[in-house]
Amino acid sequence: MPDVTALAERLTGARTSVSAIPQLSDDTPDLDLDTGYAVQRLLRSGRGPLVGWKLGVTSRAKQQQVGVDSPIYGFLAADHVLDAGEPLTVAEHINPRCEPEIVFVMGHELAGAHVSSTEVLAATAGVAVGIEVLDSRYSDYRFTMPDVVADNASAGRYAVGTPVPPQGIDLRLVGVVLEHNGGVVATASGAASLGHPAAAVAWLVRSLAATGEGLRAGDVVLSGGLTAAVPVSAGDVVVATVDRLGSLELGCR
């Protein structure tokens, strides 16, 4: 087993100094997924109260591109949040990229190795449009799957719109539009995340069960990027719209 503590320190150093590092697997060839998650848990223990979770690699296209057939997850801590109207300070990040998300806010706790999307929706208080700011600590987003898991699934920051109750909304079909500096750059529907965003959350719950964890009431879950992520610079503005959930605007300075 590689030195998990040393690997976590390298990633924390990259984040706090806002400077990219080479992927860990370059000099740690035996880095596997389990080790990646062990590094991620160590990072989590140093980040204060847990706010929720995020999913990554949820589109079939991306899974095929990197040669895997399941998503990954990362954690969200209080300092990942961009509060309503708060701009993104680009200089605090290495290589920030924005993508539209459907965000779940849990109304009840949910745990178990056999949870399905039906139970996820029953335990959900609200769903909202979100923008995730990805920020890989690795140069140019070059990494293996264990690398990106160790790097907390490239979690950077996130912003969430106003949640609405999920009842009566077919999240598979809702239209998703990403605008960058006033122009449409990508579209999708909710199905872009694992066929249904609630199915992605169900996968998360089943995965957390392996370590005896689950979702708590109030937890926030980013259910997976729905389009390709757009790189942002100071002065940019990004708008994500999810039909039936609303719009969210993020300024970058």
Binding site for another protein (CB under 8 A): 60, 170, 172-177, 183-184, 187-192, 195, 226, 241, 243-244
Cβ-based nearer residue to another protein, 18 or 173: 173
Q: Which residues contact 9 (CB under 8 A, 6 or more apart)?
A: none
CB of 48 to another protein, least distance (A): 36
d(CA 240, CA 211): 34
Cβ-based nearer residue to another protein, 107 or 195: 195
Helix or strand run (H / E) with residue 145: helix 145-150
Cβ-based nearer residue to another protein, 122 or 184: 184
CB of 44 to another protein, least distance (A): 32
Per-residue CA distances from 102 to 47, 62, 177 (Å): 24, 18, 12
CB of 122 to another protein, least distance (A): 22
CB of 178 to another protein, least distance (A): 9
CB of 171 to another protein, least distance (A): 9
Q: Which of 205, 154, 152, 159 is nearest to 46 (CA)?
A: 152
User: The sheet that has 237-242: what strands, in order across it?
Assistant: 183-189, 175-180, 237-242, 246-251
Cβ-based nearer residue to another protein, 12 or 189: 189
Q: Identity (one letter) of the amino acid at 110?
A: L
Cβ-based nearer residue to another protein, 120 or 188: 188
